[in-house]
Chain A
Amino acid sequence: MIKILFFARLREQLSTDSLTIAARENLTTELIRQQLAETDDVWNKIMSPDSLLVAVNQEISDWYQQVNDGDEVAFFPPVTGG
């Protein structure tokens, strides 16, 4: 299983902070994004790659990163701390 997390605006707009998906061969951050975007129109809009960041195992990543069973993948908007 792969744990997926959502933060900030995404978490609110999707009304969920986490879910799990099944692991499979050759899975990447981009494929997970596409899979989630296909859920419905709301997800499709929110999971569009504009202004969307992804982290794998708590490290900022790109859209080509391979994702393996047991990984934690997080999607969130650009950060605004400080």
Chain B
Amino acid sequence: MIKVQKNDFVVADEYLRLAGDNQDGAIVTFVGKVRDFNEGLDVQGLSLEHYPGMTEKVLSDIENKAREHWPLNKVTIIHRFGNLTLGEQIVFIGVTSPHRKAAFAACEFLIDFLKTKAPFWKKELTSDGSIWLDAKASDNDASQQWHNKLT
């Protein structure tokens, strides 16, 4: 299930949706939040923009890629857009699998690829004004490592 939405999500609800199948021995979830610092500046919130249409396509491609590499049953990807304040949830990734190692790996793969492929852009609202974030080399490295590992 892929959702790109303004509204917040409730982790307990998403967990219950993932947890229904007895064939799954493992559920791994990840939540990304708005944190209060970046490069020494006080972050008060975020504004998140995305490319409607392309975002959903890319997330669906990433899910399909993960399914090619690991035996996954359910996959949930939720990403919010719009204005978010400090501490708010930004992104939810949840995967279920018969096996724990596959679930851990797929969850990490999904967030690493989302960060470098999905067309979202963060603008940080700081005490010094608002600033578009630059892409991080470390995020590209994480994505590239998966590429090397899986091919």
Contacts and interface: CB of A to CB of B under 8 A. Distances in A.
Interface of A: 5, 7-9, 11-12, 55, 58-60, 74, 76-82
Contact of B118 (A8, A9, A81): A81
B135 A80 contact: yes
Given A5-B51, A8-B123, A55-B119, A82 B132 contact: no
B115 interface: yes
Contacts of A81: 48, 50, 79, 90-91, 114-115, 118-122
A58 B111 contact: no
A65 to B, nearest CB: 15
Contacts of B139: 82
A75 B16 CA distance: 39
Closest 6 pairs between A and B when the two form their complex, measured CB to CB: A81-B120, A78-B135, A8-B121, A58-B54, A82-B115, A9-B132
Secondary structure type dominating chain B contacts: mixed
Secondary structure type dominating chain A contacts: mixed
B51 A9 contact: no
Contacts of A74: 51, 54, 119
A80 B120 contact: yes
A6 B119 CA distance: 12
Interface of B: 32, 48-51, 53-54, 57-58, 79, 90-91, 111, 114-123, 132-136, 139
Contact of A82 (B32, B49, B51): B32
Pick the most buried of A58, A59, A76: most chain B CB atoms within 10 A of its CB: A58
A38 B91 CA distance: 39
B90 A7 contact: no
Contacts of A77: 121, 132, 135
Given A81-B114, A82-B32, A82-B115, A76 B121 contact: yes
Contacts of A9: 121, 132
A76 B54 CA distance: 12
